[in-house]
Amino acid sequence: MENKTEVGQEKDQISLLMPYQMGRFQLSHRIVLAPLTRQRSYNYVAQPHAVLYYSQRATKGGFLLSEACGVSDTAQGYPDTPGIWTKEQVEAWKPIVDAVHAKGAVFFCQIWHGGRVSNTEFQPNGQAPISCTDKGLAPQVRAAGVDVARFTSPRRLRADEIPQVVNDFKLAARNAIEAEPINTEGLSRTGAGLIALEITEAITTEIGAYRVGMRLSPFANYMECGDSNPKALGLYMAEALNKYELLYCHVVEPRMITVDEKSDCPHSLVPMRKAFKGTFVVAGGYDREDGNKAVAENRADIVAYGRHFLANPDLPRRFEINAPLNKYNRETFYLSDPVVGYTDYPFLEEIS
């Protein structure tokens, strides 16, 4: 529910708008752009229209996370999602990063591997996707509610192939730094497994832990990746990551059971919050009121916003004065259009 306090509430009364020192990065507020797949990176290369998209949402001292970037040609599973494994891809990110830095914002690149959430169409030489399992996925209706995604049964990765995947993440992290530098957030889709820790060690050794965060979703059941004991898994990972002195841990609330389902469980991440020694970032359908409450009650240091930040490029300003929010349009989330549902959401000044 949206907080109904008077428009013009003082900035220093809102916990979300208090400054925060995140390691070496001085943030002016605690409202983070969550990593959002946008499917506008044609041929897996970030495009010039992303310069406007990200710079619209950048503020001095703000913190932005990029859409997930594939770490190799085996990592892709969606059309027109960016990669960061080739020279062309790295060069394409540079003007985007420059534009964000010109606004004074901090920019991290989320790197990932799609695993079995793929099919032969997205794989080199039409091969089967690689995964930790050979169990296939049932077809899924995409978030747009129209098309159906079909997946090819994956090939189980051999033990001797794991170092190559770890190395792919390490090189992607290095490439992110080359792009002036964006820093990195590694994404563990299930939040499980020693490979996530191997990747963490490789990346922190390569570029420095102060530039690295990890996103965990232990409670998610997206793409049939649910865990039998998510609380224990999440706590284990939060504690295990301390060894690497990561800058932050970014965790999705269990209330976001699926893309659309939301339930209330405000204290579910507190054990992970207490266990992890770095900055703790939460995400999962927050609005102004409950995001502010999470920070005020010390359940999080900063809060990541997805759909609201998509539809409101000036979200920190709107939260500051408690202005009405633009409504997001789910039907345009994943259009390939370079403008519609991407850079055409109005700022407050344009509405007035």
* Cα–Cα distance measured from residue 234 to residue 309, given in angstroms and rounded to the nearest whole number: 26
What pLDDT sits at residue 199?
Answer: 95
- Dihedral of CA atoms 202, 273, 275, 209 in degrees, nearest 10, equals 20
What pLDDT sits at residue 184?
Answer: 85
Percent of the chain with pLDDT over 90: 76
What pLDDT sits at residue 150?
Answer: 86
Q: Is the distance from CB of 71 to CB of 172 less than 8 angstroms?
A: yes
Percent of the chain with pLDDT over 70: 88
Instruction: Tell whether the model's pLDDT for residue 256 goes beyond 70.
Output: no
Quote the crossing angle between the two packed helices 162-178 and 87-102, to the nearest 10°.
Answer: 40
Residue with tokens 């102004």: 288
Quote the crossing angle between the two packed helices 162-178 and 194-207, to the nearest 10°.
Answer: 40
> For residue 105, what is the enclosing H or E element?
none
Of residues 70 and 229, more confidence is placed in: 70
Q: Is the distance from CB of 167 to CB of 206 less than 8 angstroms?
A: no
What pLDDT sits at residue 172?
Answer: 97
Extended strands (E) in the chain: 20-22, 25-27, 31-33, 63-65, 69-70, 106-112, 130-131, 140-141, 148-149, 155-156, 184-188, 212-216, 248-252, 279-283, 302-305
Q: Are strands 279-283 and 302-305 parallel, antiparallel or unpaired?
A: parallel
pTM over 0.75: yes
Tokens of 56: 């619209």
Q: Within 13 Å, how many C-alpha atoms sit on residue 161's CB side?
A: 8
SS3 (DSSP) at 195:
helix
* Cα–Cα distance measured from residue 73 to residue 300, given in angstroms and rounded to the nearest whole number: 35
What pLDDT sits at residue 218?
Answer: 87
Number of Cβ within a 10 Å radius of residue 328: 17
Indicate the range of 183-187, 261-265, 304-308 predicted with least confidence.
261-265
pLDDT tier at 260 (50, 70, 90 boundaries)? Answer: low
Residue-averaged pLDDT of the chain: 89
Instruction: Tell whether the model's pLDDT for residue 6 goes beyond 50.
Output: no
Q: Is the distance from CB of 89 to CB of 95 less than 8 angstroms?
A: no
Q: Is the distance from CB of 155 to CB of 134 less than 8 angstroms?
A: yes
- Sequence-distant (6+) residues with CB within 8 A of 26 are 19, 61
